Structure 1
Amino acid sequence: MSRIQELNQLESVYIFCKITSLSTKNGRKKYEKIKGVFTEIISICDVLKQDIRQCDANLTSVTILPPSSNLKSNEIDLAFMYSQLLKKILIDIEKEDTEKQKLIEFCREQYSQNNSELEFINEFDRDYLKQSPLWWYSREGFVYKMLNRALRNQDIEIISKMASFVRDVHKQIAQLHEQNTDRQVALEFVQKSQKDSNKTSVLFQMEVDPTNASNPFVSMENISFYPTEKEILFSMNTVFRIGEIQQIGDKLWQVNLSLTNNDDQQLKCVTESIREDLANRRTRWHKLAILMGKMRNFDKADELCQPLFEKLSNDDWTQLTGFIKIQKGDYSNGLSHLQKCLDIWLNKFPDCNQYLPSVYHNIDQTYHDQAQTNNSIGEIYQYMKDFHRARIHYEKALKIQQRSLSPKV
Structure 2
Amino acid sequence: MSFELSDTESDDPDEICLETDNTNLETFYLIWLDPHVNTDKHHLEAQQRLRALISHLVTFDDVDTCRKYITQAPLKHYLVLIVSGQLGQKLVPRIHHINQVINIYVFCANKALHEKWAKEFQKVTAIFVSADDLISQIELDNKYRQKLAESLSFNTFNFNDVQAGQSTVGLNGQFVYNQVLMDVLLRIKYNKADKSELIKLCNTQYRKDPTELAIVKEFQHHYTSEKALWWYTRDCFLYKILNKALRMQDIHVLFLLRSFCLDLCQQLQEIQCQSKIKVYRGQLVSKSELTTLKNSLNQLISMNSFFSTSVSPQEASAFLYSKYTSTDLERVIFEIDANPNVVTTKPFADIRSQSAFVKESEVLFMFGSIFRLGSIEKTGDNIWRIRMTLCGENESGLKAVLQHMTNEYGNKKPNLHLLGMVLWKMGKFHLAEKYYQRMIRELQFNDPLIIDLYTDLSSIAAMRGSLDDTHLHPEIVPADLDCYLPTHGLYDIDEILNELAKLQMVVNVHRDQWRYLLLVDQNVKTGPFTIDLITPHIGINKYDRIDFDVNNLFVEKDCTKHLGMRVDITYPPYSITLEKIVDNIQKKRFYLLAGDDNKPCATVIEERMNKMITRGWKQIDETLPPVVPNPGPPSNIELTPVPKTSPVYQKIFEKMKLTFGGNDLKIISIEQIKNAELESIYEQAKKVIQKQTGLPDGNQMTLFHGAKGK
Is the TM value for this pair above 0.5? yes
Q: 1:108 and 1:229 mapped to 2: Cα distance?
A: 30
Q: 1:162 and 1:98 mapped to 2: Cα distance?
A: 12
Q: 1:194 and 1:136 mapped to 2: Cα distance?
A: 27
**Structure-2 residue corresponding to 1:406:** none
- Tell me which moved more, 181-190 or 272-281: 272-281
1:6-405 to structure 2, matched below 5 A, reads 6-17=97-108, 21=112, 24=115, 28=119, 31-38=121-128, 39=130, 40-58=133-151, 60-68=152-160, 69-71=162-164, 72=166, 73-96=168-191, 99-129=194-224, 132-178=227-273, 181-192=311-322, 196-214=326-344, 215-279=346-410, 281-312=412-443, 314-329=447-462
1:61 partner letter? S
- Tell me which moved more, 293-302 or 171-180: 171-180
Q: 1:130 and 1:65 mapped to 2: Cα distance?
A: 33
Cα pair 1:32 1:196 within 8 Å, conserved? no
State the shift of 1:300 in Å.
Answer: 1.2
The alignment's C-alpha RMSD in Å is 2.9
Q: 2:459 and 2:269 mapped to 1: Cα distance?
A: 39
> How has the CA–CA distance of structure 1 residues 312 and 21 changed in structure 2, closer, same or farther, with 3 Å as cutoff?
same
State the shift of 1:321 in Å.
Answer: 2.5
Q: 1:270 and 1:19 mapped to 2: Cα distance?
A: 65
**Structure-2 residue corresponding to 1:395:** none
> What secondary structure is seen at the aligned counterpart in 2 of 1:241?
strand
Cα pair 2:376 2:384 within 8 Å, conserved? yes
> How has the CA–CA distance of structure 1 residues 23 and 302 changed in structure 2, closer, same or farther, with 3 Å as cutoff?
closer
Q: 1:197 and 1:20 mapped to 2: Cα distance?
A: 29
Q: 2:314 and 2:389 mapped to 1: Cα distance?
A: 19
Cα pair 1:200 1:252 within 8 Å, conserved? yes
Q: 1:221 and 1:20 mapped to 2: Cα distance?
A: 43
State the shift of 1:132 in Å.
Answer: 0.9
**Structure-1 residue corresponding to 2:15:** none
> How has the CA–CA distance of structure 1 residues 330 and 262 changed in structure 2, closer, same or farther, with 3 Å as cutoff?
closer
Q: 2:145 and 2:230 mapped to 1: Cα distance?
A: 19
Deviation string 1:289-323 (CA, Å, 9 cap, x unpaired) is: 11011112222122123333355461122212321
Deviation string 1:317-370 (CA, Å, 9 cap, x unpaired) is: 221232122122189xxxxxxxxxxxxxxxxxxxxxxxxxxxxxxxxxxxxxxx
Cα pair 1:112 1:118 within 8 Å, conserved? yes
Large movers: runs of 4+ above 6 Å: none
1:228 partner letter? K
* Unaligned ranges ≥5, structure 1: 332-409
Bigger fraction of residues in strand: 2
Cα pair 1:190 1:201 within 8 Å, conserved? yes
Indicate the percent of aligned positions where both proteins have the same amino acid: 26
Cα pair 2:338 2:390 within 8 Å, conserved? yes
* Unaligned ranges ≥5, structure 2: 1-91, 278-309, 465-710
> What secondary structure is seen at the aligned counterpart in 1 of 2:377?
strand
> What secondary structure is seen at the aligned counterpart in 1 of 2:156?
coil
State the shift of 1:269 in Å.
Answer: 4.5
Q: 1:17 and 1:219 mapped to 2: Cα distance?
A: 45
> How has the CA–CA distance of structure 1 residues 306 and 48 changed in structure 2, closer, same or farther, with 3 Å as cutoff?
farther
Deviation string 1:75-128 (CA, Å, 9 cap, x unpaired) is: 334332222011211222234455433422332234334433322211211221
Cα pair 1:222 1:228 within 8 Å, conserved? no
1:128 partner letter? Y
Cα pair 1:181 1:232 within 8 Å, conserved? yes
Q: 2:324 and 2:381 mapped to 1: Cα distance?
A: 8
Normalising by structure 1, we get a TM-score of 0.71
State the shift of 1:11 in Å.
Answer: 2.3
Q: 1:282 and 1:126 mapped to 2: Cα distance?
A: 30
Q: 1:304 and 1:200 mapped to 2: Cα distance?
A: 39
Q: 1:187 and 1:108 mapped to 2: Cα distance?
A: 36
Q: 2:354 and 2:435 mapped to 1: Cα distance?
A: 34
Cα pair 1:289 1:324 within 8 Å, conserved? no
1:253 partner letter? W
Bigger fraction of residues in helix: 1
Deviation string 1:143-170 (CA, Å, 9 cap, x unpaired) is: 1122112111222211111111111111
- Tell me which moved more, 32-41 or 158-167: 32-41
**Structure-1 residue corresponding to 2:508:** none
Cα pair 2:212 2:237 within 8 Å, conserved? yes
Q: 2:463 and 2:163 mapped to 1: Cα distance?
A: 35
Normalising by structure 2, we get a TM-score of 0.43
Q: Give the aligned length.
A: 329
Cα pair 2:158 2:172 within 8 Å, conserved? no
Deviation string 1:217-266 (CA, Å, 9 cap, x unpaired) is: 12232422222222222111111111121212333110001101121123
